[in-house]
Amino acid sequence: MSSEEARSSVCVEDHVMTEKKRREKLNQQFVELLGLIPGLKKIDKASLIGDAINYIRELEEKLKTLEDKKRASSNSVKSWNSRPSPNENLTENSSSKSLPEIEVKMVGKNVLVKLHCLAGKGVLAKMLAEIEELHLVLRGVSSMPFTSSSLCVTVTAQFEEGYYMTVNELLKRLSTAFIYFLYED
C-alpha cells in the first residue's frame, strides 16, 4: 500500500467516524425533542419535526395572548394623585385642604375604588353618593382613619346593567366630583 492510499484510507475512516458521531448526536437530539413535545401520535422523525413546529407556534400564540392580557390588566389599573405641586399657586383656603388620591381597578363590570382624602363631616356619604351617581351599585365599603385628619376608603361596586365606562373615564369623573365637593364651602 502506498503512502497516498494510506492517507486516503485514514481520511475515509475519519470521515466515517465524524459522520457516525454526527448521526448519534442527531438521534440523541430527536430523543430529547420527543420528550419535550406533548401528545405525539407518531414517533417518526418527520412527524416529530412537524409536531414540534406546530407546538412552537402554539406556544408563541399562548405567549402573545398572555402578553395581551398582561398589557390589558396593567391598563385597567389607574391611579390619580392630585396633590398640588409646590410650584402651583393655590388660595390660602384651598392650600389647607388635601385633594383626594384615587385608584381605580376594573375587571369586567366589577370596580374597586381606593380613596385617600381629608376626613370631614359628610365626606364619606358624599363620596358614596357620587359613586352611585355614576351608575355603580355598591357591593362593599370599608372606611378607616389614616391620620387624625385623613380617611382611607375602599369601595367595591358593579356597573348597573347597560352602563359601562373605561377606567380613565371613571377616574376622571370621580376626580372631578370629589374635587368639587371637597372645595365647596
Give tens-digit pLDDT for 165-181.
888 899 888 888 887 77
Residue 132 pLDDT > 90: yes
Q: Which amino acid is at 95?
A: S
State the total domains in the chain.
2
For 34, the domain range is 3-72
Residue 7 pLDDT > 90: no
Q: Are residues 64 and 41 in the same domain?
A: yes
Radius of gyration, CA atoms only, the chain: 33
Q: Are residues 68 and 81 in the same domain?
A: no
Q: Are residues 179 and 90 in the same domain?
A: yes
Residue 94 pLDDT > 50: no
> What CATH number does residue 46 fall under?
4.10.280
Res 149: pLDDT: 84
Please give the helix or strand (H or E) that residue 122 lies within, else none.
Answer: none
| Chain mean pLDDT for the chain | 80
Model confidence, pTM: 0.49
Q: Are residues 11 and 48 in the same domain?
A: yes
Q: Are residues 94 and 165 in the same domain?
A: yes
CB atoms within 10 A of CB 32: 9
Higher pLDDT, 126 or 8: 126
Residues 25-48: tens digit of each pLDDT: 998 988 888 888 888 777 788 888
Residues 52-85: tens digit of each pLDDT: 899 999 999 998 888 877 776 655 555 554 444 4
Tell me the β-bridge partners of 158: 110, 137
> What CATH number does residue 175 fall under?
3.30.70
Domain boundary among 14, 40, 72: 72
Tell me the β-bridge partners of 27: none
Q: How far apart are CA 82 and CA 172, in angstroms?
A: 11
Q: Which candidate, 120, 103, 113, places its Cα nearest to that of 136?
A: 113
**Residues constituting the chain:** 185
Helix (H, G, I), strand (E, B) or coil at 160: coil
Residue 120 pLDDT > 90: no
Q: Are residues 99 and 120 in the same domain?
A: yes
